[in-house]
Amino acid sequence: MPVLRRRALAAALVLAADLALAGCGAGFPWLREKPAKPAAAAPAAPAATQPAAAAPAQTAPVPVMTVNEIAVAYVRLVLAFDQLDPGYVDAYYGPPAWRDLARKAGLDAAQIQHQAQQLMAALSSAAPEPIAADPKLPELRRRYLKNQLGSLSARAAMLRGQKFSFDDEARALYDVAPPDYNAAENEAALAQVRSLLPRGSGSLAQRYNRYVDGFAVPRARLERVMQAAIADARAGTRRHLSLPAGERFELSLVAGKPWSAYNWYQGGFSSRIQVNTDLPVTIDRVIQLASHEGYPGHHVYGGLLEQYLVRGRGWPEYQVYALYSPQSFVAEGSADFGVDLLYPWQQRRALEKKLFRLAGLSTRNLTDYDRVTAAAKLLAPATVEAARHYLDGDWTAVQTSAWLQEHTLASPERARQRIAFFDRYRSYIVNYAYGEQLVRQYVEAAGGTVPGSAEQWRAFGRLLTTPRVASSLD
């Protein structure tokens, strides 16, 4: 999508008319205590659009565009970049014609980088649309788009050969400064796990993996156990949030992936959830994945964004989800935080018992298991440190694997999967543990510190329905 050409601007104006705002929604209608307003009609595909043009001259003036026009251009640019960086687009449910146009445009990385920067400049002079119900929203939206475009520009620069350190890459792509590694906290968490495990031979990682493998769900029962966990997470989430009518998901088990599970949001309030069976899936992971991928995690995030921002407000930018972008920090952080919001540690016992029985496991050592998994969760920041040293070239794969085993208690197989993840997704790993930390701070600042309280759910719902990135989590 050209930014500066008048002809294309006219096309964008036609589009903007199609995407007329469909209502502002006062208050927090996604909260359970208030019924949700019916969703407005989805934005229609444009009748006629122009293909993206070549990058304009550096000296061309920045035209005045509305934020909606810039948002349309952003979506098209993201789709164009996916042609060069397959997998960059994680979800898209906008007009199919835009994808065709992006394919035909044949932009190269330099053109995309330049256009992203032009759109950022255009954002600075765009008049924000007033939203009476929430005066902060226009500025949040502008900051979201600016961050997404800046990230796209950085990713295009990477494709052109620019090298970033791990920390600089995380800053450029995800709008976050990864925290320094805290060795003392890691040591304390390891000591806690050590004190909780039954006595036995071998390294701490071997003892830990022997222990948790005793709580792995047999492969033949995994789908049934996952379905039960997702159904419970769905029911629990619906007690607090009003979900879009007709929301649904499909679950499948897969193998040979560098991740443990994935949500592919399809649009129309539907998700495909995949669980990787390469490595044992323990009951603790089942509960975590059901929340993270489903409720109140990615599936709910995708559905609420579609309902309230795409359909409700007519904002086109949320029809596309760029994977390596600041949006992922909020997506992963909220999905990881969601499990504690839904199931504070003392309140997950009933579900655990049910899942243990479905999996054919004894519930005798449930309390000890909970303590061990809670302690092991504190090891998560060490994974970021491993990725940092590995991607910065300080450590080989062998050294990284050994470090992961020692400091995160990964099995050799799990360490291998993590390194495959680093190879594929690079600094994306920062979005999990650190994302959860910042989302928790946001929710606790706005909704207090009582886990799973109505106030926390209200703050969480607000986060999932407003255009936030890490630097606007305040």
In DSSP terms, 31 is beta-bridged to: 241
Instruction: Say how far apart CA 122 and CA 35 lie, in whole Å.
Output: 38
Provide the minimum distance between the beta carbon of 337 and Zn ion in the complex, in angstroms, as a whole number.
12
The answer to whether the beta carbons of residues 36 and 277 sit under 8 Å apart is: no
Show the site string, 388-427: x = touches Zn ion by CB under 5 A, - = not: ----------------------------------------
In DSSP terms, 282 is beta-bridged to: 216
The answer to whether the beta carbons of residues 120 and 70 sit under 8 Å apart is: no
* Residue (156 or 289) nearer to Zn ion, CB: 289
* Residue (247 or 336) nearer to Zn ion, CB: 336
Helix and strand tally (H, E) in the chain?
19, 5
* Residue (109 or 335) nearer to Zn ion, CB: 335
Which region, judged by CB under 5 A, interacts with Zn ion, from 184-192, 304-312, 332-340, 407-415?
332-340
Please say whether the dihedral angle defined by the alpha carbons of residues 359, 364, 370 and 376, taken in this order, is positive or negative.
Answer: negative
* Residue (2 or 297) nearer to Zn ion, CB: 297
Provide the minimum distance between the beta carbon of 411 and Zn ion in the complex, in angstroms, as a whole number.
21
Provide the minimum distance between the beta carbon of 436 and Zn ion in the complex, in angstroms, as a whole number.
11
The residues in 142-201 that bind Zn ion, with binding defined as CB under 5 A, are none
Which region, judged by CB under 5 A, interacts with Zn ion, from 161-169, 201-209, 212-220, 326-334?
326-334
Provide the minimum distance between the beta carbon of 420 and Zn ion in the complex, in angstroms, as a whole number.
16
Which region, judged by CB under 5 A, interacts with Zn ion, from 21-29, 91-99, 120-128, 335-343?
335-343
The answer to whether the beta carbons of residues 5 and 53 sit under 8 Å apart is: yes
Provide the minimum distance between the beta carbon of 387 and Zn ion in the complex, in angstroms, as a whole number.
16
Provide the minimum distance between the beta carbon of 335 and Zn ion in the complex, in angstroms, as a whole number.
5
* Residue (43 or 294) nearer to Zn ion, CB: 294
How many positions of this chain bind Zn ion (CB under 5 A)? 2
Instruction: Say how far apart CA 364 and CA 147 lie, in whole Å.
Output: 50
Instruction: Say how far apart CA 110 and CA 295 lie, in whole Å.
Output: 39
* Residue (312 or 326) nearer to Zn ion, CB: 326
Q: Which of 128, 167, 203, 111 lies closest to 408 in space, CA to CA?
A: 203
Provide the minimum distance between the beta carbon of 301 and Zn ion in the complex, in angstroms, as a whole number.
10
* Residue (55 or 289) nearer to Zn ion, CB: 289
CB atoms within 10 A of CB 41: 8
Instruction: Say how far apart CA 172 and CA 39 lie, in whole Å.
Output: 35
Provide the minimum distance between the beta carbon of 261 and Zn ion in the complex, in angstroms, as a whole number.
8
**Phi then psi dihedrals of residue 250, to 5 deg:** -115, 135
The residues in 243-282 that bind Zn ion, with binding defined as CB under 5 A, are none
* Residue (332 or 385) nearer to Zn ion, CB: 332
Give whole-number Cα distances, 242 to 66, 238, 339, 351, in Å. 32, 6, 18, 22
* Residue (105 or 339) nearer to Zn ion, CB: 339
Which region, judged by CB under 5 A, interacts with Zn ion, from 15-23, 315-323, 328-336, 435-443?
328-336
- Going by the DSSP 8-state scheme, the letter that residue 466 receives in this structure is S
Burial zone of 59 (CB within 10 Å; 0-12 exposed, 13-18 middle, 19+ buried): exposed
Provide the minimum distance between the beta carbon of 332 and Zn ion in the complex, in angstroms, as a whole number.
5
Which region, judged by CB under 5 A, interacts with Zn ion, from 64-72, 215-223, 333-341, 418-426?
333-341
Cα 432 from chain centroid? 8
Provide the minimum distance between the beta carbon of 331 and Zn ion in the complex, in angstroms, as a whole number.
7
Residue entry with tokens 């992971």: 285
* Residue (403 or 422) nearer to Zn ion, CB: 422
Which region, judged by CB under 5 A, interacts with Zn ion, from 164-172, 331-339, 340-348, 369-377?
331-339
Which region, judged by CB under 5 A, interacts with Zn ion, from 26-34, 281-289, 327-335, 394-402?
327-335
Query: Amino acid identity, residue 50?
Result: Q
Which region, judged by CB under 5 A, interacts with Zn ion, from 38-46, 141-149, 184-192, 325-333?
325-333
The answer to whether the beta carbons of residues 176 and 170 sit under 8 Å apart is: yes
**Phi then psi dihedrals of residue 274, to 5 deg:** -120, 140
Provide the minimum distance between the beta carbon of 113 and Zn ion in the complex, in angstroms, as a whole number.
27
Percent helix / strand / coil, the chain, rounded to 5? 60, 5, 35
* Residue (113 or 417) nearer to Zn ion, CB: 417
Distance between first and last Cα of the chain: 33
Tokens of 166: 């791990």
* Residue (335 or 404) nearer to Zn ion, CB: 335
Provide the minimum distance between the beta carbon of 92 and Zn ion in the complex, in angstroms, as a whole number.
18
Tokens of 189: 């968490």
- The binding site for Zn ion (CB under 5 A) comprises 332, 335
